[in-house]
């Protein structure tokens, strides 16, 4: 397995993975045009964050996105892990573990981070178990949101 940063030639795969993840976890149908614009922006503006992809035999089988949030309290970034997707045939093989380890190694090479964070659906118990097994704990914060529609 080869893990690397996402590149412009990966946009189609990343869009497909995001659509599959949204449908699978939340029953959402994401607009492909908007999603492609979002993925392309992340690839082209590395100050926002980055994608990691896992390849096996030249095929992308998993990905995640990391976005940065500055903490003035900690004088460091939080690394938000988002858009996690592993193709169904490759699940339960430790691929996410390797992606997460790579994120941690990259953060250490950059001088460290305040913490690694992610969102997970309340009833996605399998994912929660995976995150706990990797040393993550449920935060004491609740998330509030106001969705802005165009």
pLDDT digits (tens, 9 = 90+) for 65-123: 999 999 999 999 999 999 999 999 999 999 999 999 999 999 999 998 999 999 998 88
What distance in Å separates the CA atoms of residue 26 and residue 39, rounded to the nearest whole number?
Answer: 19
Mean pLDDT of 41-69: 97
Provide the 3-class DSSP secondary structure of residue 60: strand
**Average pLDDT, stretch 21-47?**
95
pTM of the model: 0.92
Q: What distance, in Å, lies between the first and last C-alpha atoms of the chain?
A: 41
Second CATH level (architecture) for the domain 2-133:
3-Layer(aba) Sandwich (3.40)
Residues above pLDDT 90, as percent of the chain: 89
pLDDT at 139 over 80: yes
Smallest CA-to-CA distance from 66 within 53, 80, 83, 46 is with 80
| Mean per-residue pLDDT, 123-150 | 91
What pLDDT does residue 72 have?
A: 95
pLDDT at 12 over 80: yes
Q: Is the confidence at residue 54, as pLDDT, over 90?
A: yes
> Is pLDDT above 90 for 150?
no
At residue 149 the predicted structure's pLDDT band, cuts being 50, 70 and 90, is: confident
Q: Where are the domains of the chain?
A: 2-133
Average pLDDT of every residue of the chain: 95
In the beta sheet, which residues pair with residue 86? 62
Residue matched to tokens 């994608």: 51
Q: How many CB atoms lie within 10 A of CB 33?
A: 9
């Amino acid at each position: 397995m080869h893990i690397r940063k996402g590149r412009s030639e990966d946009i189609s795969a990343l869009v497909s993975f995001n659509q599959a993840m949204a449908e699978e976890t939340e029953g959402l149908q994401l607009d492909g045009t908007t999603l492609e614009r979002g993925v392309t922006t992340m690839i082209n503006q590395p100050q926002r964050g980055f994608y990691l992809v896992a390849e096996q035999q030249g095929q992308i089988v998993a990905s995640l996105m990391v976005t940065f949030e500055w903490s003035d309290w900690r004088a460091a970034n939080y690394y938000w892990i988002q858009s996690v997707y592993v193709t169904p045939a490759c699940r339960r093989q430790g691929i996410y573990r390797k992606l997460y380890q790579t994120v941690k190694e990259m953060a250490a090479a950059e001088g460290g981070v305040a913490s690694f964070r992610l969102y997970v659906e309340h009833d996605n118990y399998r994912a929660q178990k995976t995150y706990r097994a990797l040393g993550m704990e449920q935060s004491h914060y609740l998330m509030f949101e106001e969705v802005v529609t165009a």
